[in-house]
Homo-oligomer: A and B are copies of this chain.
């Protein structure tokens, strides 16, 4: 494990409990079942005896016990000002921690590790790039078979099996295959409905590789699509183009979404765009930063974000296109290119 004692700042110790943060700092792949304790002595994992053999094989410093016992395991170490992740630790666990550590002053913290995670290190970008390549290859194989008559859920199975067979740890999230009127639900899953001529079908999917995720969306037109549906897709394409033209280091986070909204407003579709333009992608599929027209802050080199305008019209359908973008020192790279 690296030395992350700079995270302590004004604290004598920091308890990290959010799985993505535990994984980021320790590399331990079963981070959802572990806590990480940081103090001047370095990092220490708390985990169930179930993982004893894993921790010993990996040479990770650790204490073993049932999760209920973890606060007590810290009793000998946690003194002075002890930070905890207030946005993640359940209220009752924070209370038990206080009872187990009567000599410590518990300090709620928020976003310390997340602030490090926003700018990806080169090896993290490579993992995301690989997760994206797996998704791309599965898509390129499946896409020619996406035709009228095929059930949505079969298309989802093609994508997910294609990713798994190419070495993905799994899908990044439940694959969306939303055709026709189902396209009006941004997080529609994939159901038994068969794709039909004249529909739009939205495919939103991604892979997980070495803990990191990819996330991409394509909307396909099936045969002769009537004008009112073509118009949805054309508007989303124009919104995407406007947003992409605003990307780059130092650009306000709000600016690409403002550009997309302006296009959709001119098309009379703004009321059908109920989400932000995008989000960070890394150890979590949705993480900081948020690309909303209300977001503070700026795009920074090392950020990996989605750009995904979409419109959803009940009874008619929907369209969304999503690119996965790495902000660089010079500009940006579209990780989801070539598909």
CB of A39, distance to nearest CB on chain B (Å): 21
A109 closest partner in B (C-beta): B92
A278 within 8 A of partner (CB):
no
Cα–Cα distance between A143 and B30 once the two chains are bound (Å): 27
List A residues 90-133 near B (Cβ within 8 Å). Answer: 90-95, 108, 110
Q: Which of A2-10, A182-190, A253-261 contacts B (4 or more CB under 8 A)?
A: A182-190
Known: A90-B87, A110-B92, A169-B174. A50 touches B160 (CB 8 A): no
A275 within 8 A of partner (CB):
yes
Q: Mark A46-88, 1 if CB is under 8 A from B, else 0.
A: 0011111110110000000000000000000000000010111
Q: Which of B49, B92, B187, B314 contacts A86 (CB 8 A)?
A: B92
Residue contact A169 to B187, C-beta cutoff 8 Å: no
- Copies of this protein in the complex: 2
CB of A59, distance to nearest CB on chain B (Å): 14
Known: A165-B157, A170-B171. A53 touches B94 (CB 8 A): no
Cα–Cα distance between A88 and B93 once the two chains are bound (Å): 9
Cα–Cα distance between A56 and B313 once the two chains are bound (Å): 13
Cα–Cα distance between A93 and B53 once the two chains are bound (Å): 36
Residue of A94, A110, A170 ringed by the most chain B CB atoms within 10 A: A170
Tell me which residues across on chain B come within 8 A of A51, comparing CB atoms.
185-187
Known: A53-B312, A84-B91, A160-B170. 19 other contacts (CB 8 A): A48-B274, A48-B275, A49-B275, A50-B274, A51-B186, A51-B187, A52-B274, A53-B314, A56-B314, A57-B185, A86-B90, A86-B95, A89-B90, A91-B94, A156-B164, A157-B165, A160-B161, A161-B164, A170-B174
A residues at B contact (CB < 8 Å): 29-30, 33, 48-54, 56-57, 84, 86-95, 108, 110, 153-154, 156-157, 160-161, 164-165, 167, 169-171, 174, 184-187, 189, 274-275, 312, 314
